[in-house]
């Protein structure tokens, strides 16, 4: 978190008193402890007359004696390098399967508020439809990013490899000896 600017209403105050002391006043200062501030604060704060060095000037009156102060808080912005993860939807025709899906670039730099990026481990692409795909192909797509997060790459290339479906190992029973045998890869 980073503190933003402070605004006061009214923006100026009137100083009265002996002319010698009034002539010393160069600033109207407000004090506020910001140690526990996590969100915007609106508070009524006392106005303190000060000289050019910031030292309190006594013997003068300030009107109004208190002002409404608004202190904004900004989230700290950070950058983080994460892996790009292709998002695939659909299925190729029967007997074919997606054998690999990669993104170029493989990593991107995300920038945004630290509260959002602390949890980010990857950046998913917009969905790439593989329905009916019979051969390898490449699609340029954007990343799925939450509001407030930007990426070093506007789009990435998703390379999809399609090949013959590989049968997985299966088990079967042989009735003759009632033994379990493995077949397949």
Specify the pLDDT at position 47: 96
Nearest to 57 by CA among 4, 13, 109, 104: 13
Specify the pLDDT at position 74: 72
Query: Do residues 83 and 123 touch, judged by C-beta distance below 8 A?
Result: yes
pLDDT digits (tens, 9 = 90+) for 134-180: 999 999 999 999 898 999 998 999 999 999 876 445 444 444 444 44
Question: Is there a cis peptide before residue 169, judged by omega within 30 degrees of 0?
Answer: no
Nearest to 116 by CA among 146, 138, 136: 146
Report, as an integer, the average pLDDT of 79-103: 94
Q: Which residue has the higher pLDDT, 46 or 180?
A: 46
Q: Supply the mean pLDDT for the chain.
A: 86
Specify the pLDDT at position 32: 87
Distance in angstroms (rounded) separating the CA atoms of residues 58 and 35: 28
Angle at 164 between CA 160 and CA 165, to 5 degrees: 95
pLDDT digits (tens, 9 = 90+) for 109-127: 999 988 888 888 999 999 9
Q: Which domains does the chain have, with CATH numbers?
A: 2-74 (no CATH), 77-164 (2.170.120.40)
Q: Report residue 35's pLDDT band, with 50, 70 and 90 as the boundaries.
A: confident
Query: Do residues 148 and 132 touch, judged by C-beta distance below 8 A?
Result: no
Name the 3-class secondary structure at 8.
Answer: strand
């Amino acid at each position: 978190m980073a503190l933003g600017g402070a605004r006061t209403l009214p923006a100026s105050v009137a100083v009265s008193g002996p002319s010698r002391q009034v002539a010393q006043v160069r600033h109207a200062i407000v004090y506020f402890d910001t140690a526990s501030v996590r969100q915007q604060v609106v508070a009524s704060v006392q106005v303190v007359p000060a000289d050019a060095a910031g030292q309190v000037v006594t013997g003068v009156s300030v009107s109004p004696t208190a002002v409404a102060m608004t202190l904004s808080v900004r989230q700290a912005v950070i950058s983080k390098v994460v892996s790009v993860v292709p998002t695939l939807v659909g299925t190729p025709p029967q007997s074919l399967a997606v054998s690999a899906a990669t993104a170029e670039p493989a990593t991107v730099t995300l920038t945004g508020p630290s509260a959002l990026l602390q949890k980010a481990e990857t950046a998913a692409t917009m969905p790439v439809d593989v329905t009916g795909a019979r051969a390898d192909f490449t699609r340029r797509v954007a990343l799925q990013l939450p509001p407030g997060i930007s990426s070093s790459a506007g789009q990435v290339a998703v390379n999809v490899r399609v090949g013959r479906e590989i049968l997985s190992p299966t088990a079967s029973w042989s009735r003759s000896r009632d033994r379990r045998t493995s077949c397949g890869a």
